[in-house]
Amino acid sequence: MIRQFKPEDIEQVLDIWLKASVQAHNFVAAEFWESQVSNMREIYIPASKNYVFESDGNVIGFYSLHENLLAAIFIFPEHQGQGIGKRLISHAKEQCSQLTLNVYKANEATYQFYLSQGFKVDNEHVCEHTSCVEYAMSMNTQQRI
């Protein structure tokens, strides 16, 4: 089930974020992601509207919106490939008339996932934090009649 984030979810969300970030971004040193946990806790999560995917009382995935930016979407690695990401994207589409995001070019699986969900590439740029190339992607989520 998808529900709004509660403050007591923070440790599970940070654990998901770190484990999934290290796995998905093996082209960036794990130490970088570990160094960002406090920023996630103190800056990024509080500044965003967050939703979690809960199963059997455990948070196993989440996404964060900052205005229309899909700032984060992460699922515990052992729960990936089960349709949870699609459900989270679908929920995010209901929250905004347009969604934007950034994805590392080297993260091919996630890039392909976003394409399959209807996102298109707007441009390519270098991430200021990692110096890795990213795609800026977007989608119009409004239904056309």
Q: Where are the domains of the chain?
A: 2-140
pLDDT at position 144 over 50: no
> Phi and psi for 66 in degrees, rounded to 5?
-120, 100
| pLDDT tens readout for residues 68-117 | 999 999 999 999 999 999 999 999 999 998 999 999 999 999 999 999 99
Distance CA 114, CA 69 (A): 14
Coil, strand or helix at 26: coil
pLDDT at position 123 over 70: yes
Buried/exposed code over 77-89 (b: 16+ C-beta within 10 A; e: otherwise): eebbeeebbeebb
User: Which helix (DSSP H) or strand (DSSP E) does residue 112 occupy?
Assistant: helix 108-116
> For the chain, what is the radius of gyration of the CA atoms?
15
CATH 3.40.50.1000 holds for 2-140: no
> Phi and psi for 85 in degrees, rounded to 5?
-60, -40
Q: What pLDDT score was predicted for residue 61?
A: 98
pLDDT at position 143 over 60: no
> Whole-model pTM?
0.92
